Amino acid sequence: MKAIVVGGGIGGLATAVSLRRVGWEVVVYERAAAFGEIGAGVGVMPNALRALEWMGLDDEIRQLGTPRVSGGVRAEDGRWLVHMPDVGQEKVIAMHRADLHGVLLRALPPEILFTDVEVTSADDLDADLVVAADGINSRLRAELLPGAPGPEYAGATAWRGVAPGPCDLPISQTLGPGAEAGVLPLGDGRVCWYVAAVAPAGADLDPVSLFGRWHDPLPELLASTPDVLRHDIHQLPLLPTFVGGRVALLGDAAHAMTPYLGQGACMALEDAVTLALCNGDLARYDALRRPRTRSVWKGSRMAGRFGIELRSPIALALRNFAFRVMPPSLAVRGMTQFSSWEVPAEVHSNGSNPVVN
């Protein structure tokens, strides 16, 4: 069985690794001149680590990343609103996105990877399975579901970067009026950070002045980052299906979500393993992945509503009070509710284990 994967981001490469693991012949077409990943940090959540474990890549991920317990949620002056205890919960692996992408890339033979190939129609592709992993603005999705709405602006803009910084910072999210920030220390003297603010798309804003009075080390991290990335945040309205004929949508092409739960790339890793385990049964893939990603998509939307989007002083005070009185066990449960996914055990109608070692 032959698959063509369109798009060489985290989702596309993870799919190629996973399909090869169950015996498929795979090629990857990427429109850029080189395989690579821009961006700053990524928290490999326990669910994503289980997907990487199934791919046989978890050891390398653990070596390149740093396992962390989330520290919790802070107010913009640095006060903890929720301080998460380390109660033995699974850790998040903090790493640079380029390192995660690199691990996937090295797991694939170079002769199946093609750059400078822009795919505009699945009809041009000779394969039993076409995987559309071509990102939020997917051309193949537009072809498969011409009536479905495209990405919509989620009302906020984000800046991200990597700066030198202390190794012993906890992972934290900071919530302020109409804005939020996060720090993800990589454990090697670099700290990944992001800040986001409610604003019209494309607004001319300076993050250094917007976040200049927030708690340490945010102002210094922003000021000392040479290359700051800016993204207006978009989401894809929920789709009626992820599949059609021999085409499967995967990753952001299927379910691009707001980044407030840090689960977008993690979902693409789950998709990849599930698609491989479905071994060509696309209806099963759709049945397994649409409900799961819908719930995380909605959770992320909700996290935005009660996080970055709150601006009225009364609403902020009520939210912060609720955080402060929340029992630590509830906080841990809130954090882990989306990361408890397990690799589907039996997805084959014949019950066989398809993994080829």
Ligand X SMILES: Cc1cc2nc3c(=O)[nH]c(=O)nc-3n(C[C@H](O)[C@H](O)[C@H](O)COP(=O)(O)OP(=O)(O)OC[C@H]3O[C@@H](n4cnc5c(N)ncnc54)[C@H](O)[C@@H]3O)c2cc1C
| Residues that bind ligand X in the complex, under the rule CB under 6 A | 6-12, 29-32, 42-43, 117-119, 133-135, 139, 158, 160, 231, 233, 251-252, 259, 262-266, 268
Amino acid, res. 298: K
Ramachandran region, residue 325 (left: φ > 0; alpha: ψ -120 to 50; beta: rest): alpha
User: What's the CA gap between 236 and 150, in Å, rounded?
Assistant: 6
Closer Cβ to ligand X, 122 or 278, answer by number = 122
* Distance of closest approach, residue 90 Cβ to ligand X, in angstroms: 15
**Least Å from the CB of residue 108 to ligand X:** 14
Q: How far is the CB of 232 from ligand X (least distance, A)?
A: 9
Which residue, 14 or 81, has its beta carbon nearer to ligand X? 14
Beta strand 152-164 pairing with 25-29: unpaired
Using the minimum distance from each CB to ligand X, give the nearer residue, 146 or 351: 146
Nearest distance, CB of residue 267 and ligand X, angstroms: 7
Q: Which is nearer to ligand X, 79 or 106 (CB)?
A: 106
Q: Rank residues 10 and 19 by Cβ distance to ligand X and give the closer one.
A: 10
DSSP calls for 182-248? EEEE-SSSEEEEEEEEE--TT----HHHHTTTSSTTHHHHHHT-SS-EEEEEEEPPPPS-SEETTEE
User: The tokens of 117 are what?
Assistant: 């190939």
What is the smallest separation between the CB atom of 220 and ligand X, expressed in angstroms? 21
Residues 192 and 171: their CA atoms lie apart, in Å, by 10
Residue count (the chain): 357
